[in-house]
Amino acid sequence: MFEKNLSDLIRGIRAHPDDETKYISNCMDECRKELKNPDLDVKANAIAKLTYLQMLGFDISWASFQIVEVMTSKKFLHKRIGYLAAAQSFHEDTDVLMLTTNMLKKGLTSQNMYEVGLALNGLSNFMTPDLARDLGNDVITLMTSVRPYVRKKATLCTYPLFLKYPEALRAAFPRLKDKLEDSDPAVQSAAVSVICELARKNPKNYLSLAPTFFKILNSSQNNWMRIKIIKLFAALCPLEPRLAKKLADPLTDLINSTPAMSLLYECIQTVLSGMPEHVSTLQLCVQKLRIFIEDHDQNLKYLGLQAMAQVLKIQPKAVLPHRDLIIECLDDRDESIRLRALDLLAGMVNKKTLVDIVRRLLVHLENSDGASYRDEVVSKIVDMSAQNHYQFVVDFKWYVQVLIQLTRVENTRHGRLLATQLMDVAIRVKSIRDFAVPALAGLLQESRLFSSTINGINEVLYASAFVVGEYAEHLTDEAAVVEALLQPRVASLPAHIQAVCVHNTLKIYARLTEKIQKGEGSVDSLNAIVNVITSRIPLFVQSGDLEVQERAVFVGEMVGFLAAQREKGEALDHELLQLFAEELNPVAPKAQRKVPVPEGLDLDEWINTPPASDDEADTKDDDDLDFGLDFGFGPRYEDEDEETRNRKRQERLAMQQANPYHLGGATGGERHSPEKATFQDVSDIPVEQIPIDHIEVQTPLYVGLDVAPTMPKKKKKKKLSKKEKKALKKKGLPVPSDSESEPEPSIEIQATEEMPDGVADSDPDDNNDVDDPHRALDIDLDAPMDASEMVLPTPSHHVSKGLSAEELASLERQRAREARKAKKKADKDGKKKKKKKSKEHGEHHTHQHEHVHEHEHEAEAEAEPANVEIVTEDAEPEAVVEVAAEPPVAEAAAGETKKKSKKDKKDKKDKKKKKHKHHDSEAPSSPSLALRPLVKGDHLASAYAISGLDKQVQVTFVFQNIVETEVTLKSLHIDEPASSVKVASQEGLNEPQTLGMSTQHKAVVTLSVEDATKPVTLTGKVEYATADTADGELAFEIALGCSTFFKREACSTDRFTEQLSSGSLSASKSEVFSCSAPFAQGVHAIHSLGFAGVEFVDQAASLFGESVNGDVVCILAKDKGEQSISIDFKASAESLIDGLVSEIRAALAK
């Protein structure tokens, strides 16, 4: 009574803000102790607190068993707490869900509608395929309940039922369709919600319901139901064009009349997705969306912009008049609205609007706060300009100015993006190079690009260096550019930028020599470049980066060599141009990995065979001072023969042929064919003869104003005045050209990208999720149903998911072998009691007993050695020991079987009577007990069997003569085992019995049990005589564990659940056992101790045991992996659990 309740827990958490974790940990420990209390009030209070902690993110899966206990309580208050905890914490992999099947079944059939609602709500939250299959019929039946509350809950529960058990959809769909016309609006709304969710992924299956939904749409005043129906029509309209025409008038009326903004928005969405051809309705939607955007509610403004983006894809012209309103949204304080407006502006771009939109964005960029938002604006400007290979860019000079202007945005992180764009424009658009090269050369002098190394804006220097070097023919002051490329500040830049700066100085030098040959360049400039390179290149030769160092050494040596040759009067400068003769074209991003492997090339084979040993390699390295480079002074390895050199030569030629950038002459192999000419000088090779894979180049994309004559003259853009141009220049913004109205020459843009021959870009990926549960619900509901589909199947038992058919068959055979016949004397009271129990268990157990009985003949056919089992073959029928044994674990994993009618039961009784008449010696409903080997002597072998009665245990002994001569059994002596177990009676060996060869005799000892929770040892001896031995004896010892006193009766899941919820099982314990065998075999070993199998699902099993004195134990076994099994015990006595733990450990060890 002094436990903390939920309110105390919440107050305590609020009162401990500094050490909240520690406080919650203490509360969790308190809850663990409270859960061990047998009082359900205390347990329910603990579960309520744990549920709150679970909402805070703490794991309470360890309390799943106790949650089930609270759920099974008879008090509604407790049930509500338990179901809430289960709905919050249970999931499909929760082990104890198999214990809830019959509890939920009881809840669904309860007379209290609120208990039914609890069960439906809980089932909806932790639905599994097994629960859906077992309880599907009950849920569907509740859809016809007389109570609207239950009908509504059941209808809503069908959606998770269909997701987990799609086969139920066809059987339940007629009833679900009837609910659309239910008299209660709540039930009708629930049915609409379920069908709308089902139709969201598979709309075509519900097209036949369109008339019904149209009727509800016109008659209902419930806006939420209207919203659901309108959403459904949005999915159905693309499938049926006539439906869109039918909906045009109702939707127009709703758009004009409804004050509900949510309903208005859904109407607009339906028009946009299902009726894009209705221009008048679309224009009405755009007008309403303007109202959304102008509203002060930020949510409505966001939704309006989002829907306007959808209109833009359908009818761009309908959105263009609202451009000013969208641009105003860029000044909104909400960043999400600004970003949505940016996306919308990007879609409104065309040749006419691009310049104006970009100019406004540049002005907006100067006044924007937040680095991330500015970066987003920069990205959008680039994206809208570069889309479709600069489709909307008319003036590329203006675009280059914009890109340069964007490099001046403070703290932008898009340096790499801007660099890529500057290079791409210069490479693709040849006509812009004469403007772009001097403009980018100026960037090499801007100190801000050298000082900012954090955000990556210095990547722009990479693009500038590449462009001025690659297209150096457009430079006017080469010496100044080379000096900028080799300035000392470059050494502080990243290595890849240093490398391109150093390398492009050689390109500029080569282009200048070409100009001098043509009489356009100055020799003084060439000498100045040589002096700059000679004086500044040593700084880069000392770089720590290998790439920079290599390029610097190459440039220095090459320029020095050419200068020395020029002083000697040998001008070799024109030869340098051959290094840069090939123009670099855009390459597709996937081109490199799409290059096919040449035929005959083994990528795993060594190109150069490695040296025989490291010592030899070291010796050769000492002798050769060329650092591994072959300058043509002779073979590198003197021991190479002619065959090896030819093989390496062929490999080298194959590599050169496969290399698309190799510019060597055509030599060797197939290149001597008459179809291909050979060239000795590289400069003489025509471009088309270069050994590259042939690229299919499509017609270049021409973008210009050559389509201007088709435009109306009255829409010509107004020229900027001198005042406006001055204002733009003052702000540093690019000024568009004045000659827009005049036809400009077409601008050729190289839109194609190189790919290897015969290789295409990858196909688009399939975005459909194969694990989507809606895929299984794609069922044709209009097709006629078979009789089998009318009713959901109700399986009599479950087959474990973890066991194959072979393993299940093996378990059944093993169980059948254990069910050997033994003998006993059954008194009348025992028979009456047995019949009474058989009646109580009902047809479910009868079915199981018959199933086991069918395997008896198969079991008897499998002979076993005499020292393993002794079976009485000539015993009298009435002496056979018969005890109702539980079915195999795999079969016991079932819920309750379907109830039969009285007529069926009567027929079954008649069958049983007939069966008794024909087979009097056999038990009608249960298999006999199996004997266990006891001890074997020189003359006798013995076995025993144990069966439990009320407060008594019968031990049946069977003695068999194993010699050829006769053996006389004289007497059987049993020692008094302990105070808890006493010998009550002894029958079968009151007088001597003579056994012939291989004959057997039975004796029965009845023990009265005072305490069945403690193990005892039964000792004794049998005295016998033979022709050779007058006083022989055979001593024996039988360990009677706690499981020996079990009644070995089957247990239904109802009874199992009742025992757990009764509160009588005060003792509990959890243990982990080692088990090297598979989990199914481990459970079978536990089951063979005398436990009754209740249910077996996945990697968990529940079992039940009851002693002859009424002591009960319930266990839940779970597969923990790594050859271990975890078992939770709940029992009426602690000593009973301790005794069973040792027995189970020994059984699993075997």
Confidence at residue 584, expressed as pLDDT on a 0 to 100 scale? 76
User: What's the average model confidence in pLDDT over 1132-1140?
Assistant: 86
Confidence at residue 710, expressed as pLDDT on a 0 to 100 scale? 34
pLDDT exceeds cutoff 70 at 1009: yes
Confidence at residue 750, expressed as pLDDT on a 0 to 100 scale? 65
Order of all β-strands in the sheet with 932-936: 932-936, 940-949, 952-961, 1000-1009, 981-987
Residue with more model confidence, 501 or 747: 501
Domains of the chain in start order, with CATH, are: 390-580 (1.25.10), 614-675 (no CATH), 805-930 (no CATH), 932-1040 (2.60.40.1230)
pLDDT exceeds cutoff 70 at 921: no
pLDDT exceeds cutoff 90 at 440: yes
Instruction: Tell me the torsion sign for CA atoms 731, 732, 733, 737.
Output: positive
Reported confidence tier of residue 135, pLDDT bands at 50, 70, 90: very high
Reported confidence tier of residue 600, pLDDT bands at 50, 70, 90: confident
Residue with more model confidence, 452 or 211: 211
pLDDT exceeds cutoff 80 at 849: no
DSSP for 97-119, please give it.
GGGSHHHHHHHHT-S-HHHHHHH
Give the span between the Cα atoms of 469 and 482, in whole angstroms.
9
pLDDT tens digits for range 745-779: 566 676 666 666 656 555 444 445 556 666 667 77
pLDDT exceeds cutoff 80 at 536: yes
Radius of gyration of the chain (CA): 46
3-state DSSP call for residue 574?
helix
Question: Would you state the structure tokens that stand for residue 932, as one six-digit string?
Answer: 């266990």
Q: Give, as one character, the DSSP assignment of residue 630.
A: -
pLDDT exceeds cutoff 90 at 740: no
pLDDT exceeds cutoff 70 at 917: no
Confidence at residue 1081, expressed as pLDDT on a 0 to 100 scale? 85
Give the span between the Cα atoms of 265 and 259, in whole angstroms.
11
pLDDT exceeds cutoff 70 at 715: no
Exposure of 641 in the CB half-sphere (CA atoms within 13 A): 1
Range scoring the smallest mean pLDDT among 320-334, 428-442, 677-691: 677-691
Give the span between the Cα atoms of 779 and 770, in whole angstroms.
16
Range scoring the smallest mean pLDDT among 276-290, 717-731, 1008-1022: 717-731
3-state DSSP call for residue 806?
helix
pLDDT exceeds cutoff 90 at 833: no
User: What's the average model confidence in pLDDT over 198-220?
Assistant: 87
User: What's the average model confidence in pLDDT over 228-243?
Assistant: 88
| Residue of 779, 893, 790 whose CA lies nearest to 163 | 779
Exposure of 535 in the CB half-sphere (CA atoms within 13 A): 11
3-state DSSP call for residue 819?
coil
**Are 168 and 789 spatial neighbours (Cβ–Cβ below 8 Å)?**
no
Residue with more model confidence, 1111 or 768: 1111
Question: Would you state the structure tokens that stand for residue 162, as one six-digit string?
Answer: 């269909």
3-state DSSP call for residue 891?
helix
pLDDT exceeds cutoff 70 at 708: no
User: What's the average model confidence in pLDDT over 203-214?
Assistant: 88
Confidence at residue 688, expressed as pLDDT on a 0 to 100 scale? 43
Give the span between the Cα atoms of 718 and 725, in whole angstroms.
13
Range scoring the smallest mean pLDDT among 357-366, 398-407, 516-525: 516-525
User: What's the average model confidence in pLDDT over 980-991?
Assistant: 80
Reported confidence tier of residue 454, pLDDT bands at 50, 70, 90: low
**Are 64 and 89 spatial neighbours (Cβ–Cβ below 8 Å)?**
yes
pLDDT exceeds cutoff 60 at 95: yes
3-state DSSP call for residue 972?
strand
Give the span between the Cα atoms of 99 and 102, in whole angstroms.
7
CA angle 639, 640, 643 (to 5 degrees): 145
Reported confidence tier of residue 145, pLDDT bands at 50, 70, 90: very high
Range scoring the smallest mean pLDDT among 458-467, 497-506, 640-649: 640-649
Confidence at residue 848, expressed as pLDDT on a 0 to 100 scale? 42
Share of the chain above pLDDT 70, in %: 73
CB atoms within 10 A of CB 850: 16
Average pLDDT across the chain, whole number: 77
**Are 161 and 139 spatial neighbours (Cβ–Cβ below 8 Å)?**
yes
pLDDT tens digits for range 860-875: 333 333 333 343 333 3
Instruction: Tell me the torsion sign for CA atoms 826, 832, 838, 841.
Output: negative
User: What's the average model confidence in pLDDT over 393-403?
Assistant: 93
Specify which of 18-27, 233-242, 607-616, 978-987 reaches the highest per-range mean pLDDT: 18-27
pLDDT tens digits for range 998-1007: 788 888 888 8
Reported confidence tier of residue 854, pLDDT bands at 50, 70, 90: very low
3-state DSSP call for residue 605?
coil
Reported confidence tier of residue 564, pLDDT bands at 50, 70, 90: confident
Range scoring the smallest mean pLDDT among 188-192, 791-795, 1095-1099: 791-795
User: What's the average model confidence in pLDDT over 1119-1142?
Assistant: 86
Phi, psi of 629 (to 5 degrees): -95, 140
Give the span between the Cα atoms of 1120 and 1115, in whole angstroms.
15
User: What's the average model confidence in pLDDT over 122-143?
Assistant: 93
3-state DSSP call for residue 851?
helix
**Are 550 and 543 spatial neighbours (Cβ–Cβ below 8 Å)?**
no
Confidence at residue 401, expressed as pLDDT on a 0 to 100 scale? 94
Confidence at residue 940, expressed as pLDDT on a 0 to 100 scale? 85
**Are 517 and 572 spatial neighbours (Cβ–Cβ below 8 Å)?**
no
CB atoms within 10 A of CB 442: 13
User: What's the average model confidence in pLDDT over 11-31?
Assistant: 92
Residue with more model confidence, 373 or 698: 373
| Residue of 1138, 1139, 1141, 1146 whose CA lies nearest to 1127 | 1141
Place of tokens 């795999």: 890
pLDDT tens digits for range 1036-1086: 888 888 888 887 788 888 888 888 877 788 888 888 888 888 888 888 888
User: What's the average model confidence in pLDDT over 483-503?
Assistant: 93
Cα 234 from chain centroid (whole Å)? 30
Phi, psi of 569 (to 5 degrees): 90, 5
pLDDT exceeds cutoff 80 at 664: no
Confidence at residue 1132, expressed as pLDDT on a 0 to 100 scale? 86
Measured CA to CA in angstroms, residue 571 lies from 356, 482, 518, 568, 684 at distances of 54, 22, 14, 8, 19
**Are 502 and 486 spatial neighbours (Cβ–Cβ below 8 Å)?**
yes
pLDDT exceeds cutoff 90 at 382: yes
Residue with more model confidence, 990 or 1118: 1118
Share of the chain above pLDDT 90, in %: 30
Give the span between the Cα atoms of 361 and 355, in whole angstroms.
10
pLDDT exceeds cutoff 70 at 510: yes
Confidence at residue 794, expressed as pLDDT on a 0 to 100 scale? 54
Confidence at residue 764, expressed as pLDDT on a 0 to 100 scale? 46
| Residue of 138, 134, 139, 98 whose CA lies nearest to 889 | 98
Confidence at residue 494, expressed as pLDDT on a 0 to 100 scale? 92
Confidence at residue 480, expressed as pLDDT on a 0 to 100 scale? 93
Give the span between the Cα atoms of 955 and 1140, in whole angstroms.
20
